[in-house]
Amino acid sequence: MKIYSKVNVWDAALDRIRYLFDEFQDVAVGFSGGKDSTVVFQLALKVAKEKNRLPLSVMFIDQEAEWEVVINYIRKIMHMDEVSPLWFQIPIQIFNATSTFSPWLYCWEDGKKWMREKEDVSIKSNTYGTARFKKLFDRIVVQQFPDKKTCLLGGVRCEESPQRLVGLTSAATYKAITFGKKIDDSHFIFYPLYDWSYKDIWKAIHDNSYEYCGLYDSMYQRGVSLNNMRVSNLHHETAVHSLFFLQEIEPETWGKLTSRLGGINTAGVLGKKDYFNKNTTLPTAFNGWVEYRDYLLENLIVNDETRAIFGRKFERMDQVYSDIKDISVLHKAQIQTILCNDYEFTKLQGFECGKPAVAYRKSKAGKAVDIVRGKSYNSFIKENRP
């Protein structure tokens, strides 16, 4: 349920950022080149100027397989006089959703021909104790700002997914603030645009004449809806839609990517329709969706450890949702998870935060375990009761 106030989202976001500058000795911005982080950056820059807190630290974790137009835009930001650049081009591993045979891109791997050369201003050594992208943000914030109370500002919004809505509105992170995440007692991540819509984002960009990444114009010209535009790396399970027009927009990037990473060309040959099979019709060789799912699991996931992880996840979910009205919806989501090589289980999180699954869990309160949050359903309901 949305609760509307008399303060518009622009003023509310500025008030939040001003408060965070007053509360924290260091404030940095996590930047991806996307529309949301563009607005966060511009608002933080405005407040930093007001409070005489320049230069503003801006952090970008470069995943190597990025759009060239995005990198060009980020390069402009990082070379601004008001910016202290934290551009990380360090060895990390990113999951490859286009191939079960080449499931990882080892970004900036020694001895490999990279998509492009590293930047002069970038940080090039991984001294953060992890090679996984999601864990890096916390480690970097703590290590780069070890002796100061510090927060990182990001562009995550509730509108983008049900799980983000739950995560950013359920419990206090810092004092009365819910729109964030605690790393430790001195380090936090906050999302001051959490209640913005994508329309608010584009209005802010237009009204203030903010420069933004030109990739959005190319996507708009090709019919991509405003709410579905992504400028992130090119092979993650939430970003592979971009592959189907990458060759047209940036043919050189396409060539470099197909040479660098397995599965890219296969996705391009299949095309969007076949790659994102919606499983509307069960293949005739199978007696049910579970049989089809198990066949794909056995034959497409070639790594034994990964297959076991997928299998355990599916088994737990089958048990929890055994009596749901239409369990085939779950099984189709599991099939999509296999077909897209969704190691992070993003599609299954979407299912679990959907209205049918939430309603089912509430009806079974106290009788099962909530997989997303790792708590009893009674606790889940109690924490989220208006």
353 confidence band (pLDDT: 50, 70, 90):
confident
Q: Cα angle at 214 between 209 and 220, to 5 degrees?
A: 100
Question: 106: burial class by Cβ within 10 Å (0-12, 13-18, 19+)?
Answer: middle
pLDDT higher than 90, residue 36: yes
18 vs 373, residue with greater confidence = 18
pLDDT band, very low/low/confident/very high, at 99 (cuts 50, 70, 90): low
Instruction: Report all structural domains of the chain as residue ranges with CATH numbers, in order of start.
Output: 9-198 (3.40.50.620), 289-384 (no CATH)
Predicted TM-score (pTM) of the model is 0.75
- Enumerate residues 6+ apart whose C-beta is below 8 A from 137: 30, 59, 61, 152, 189
CA angle 252/116/97 to nearest 5° reads 75
pLDDT at 209 over 80: yes
For the chain, give the mean pLDDT: 85
Cα angle 304-305-309, degrees, rounded to a multiple of 5: 115
Q: Are residues 264 and 65 in contact, defined by beta-carbon separation less than 8 angstroms?
A: no
Residue that wins the pLDDT comparison between 2 and 361: 361
Q: What is the pLDDT of residues 302-329, one digit of tens each?
A: 788 888 999 999 999 999 999 898 899 9
Q: Across residues 166-193, what is the average pLDDT?
A: 89
Question: Percent of the chain beyond pLDDT 90?
Answer: 51
Over residues 127-135, mean pLDDT: 89
Higher pLDDT residue, 80 or 350?
Answer: 80
Mean per-residue pLDDT, 192-214: 96
Mean pLDDT, residues 357-374: 64
At 370, the pLDDT band (50, 70, 90 cuts) reads very low
- C-alpha–C-alpha distance, residues 66 and 60, integer Å: 12
Average pLDDT over residues 219-233: 81
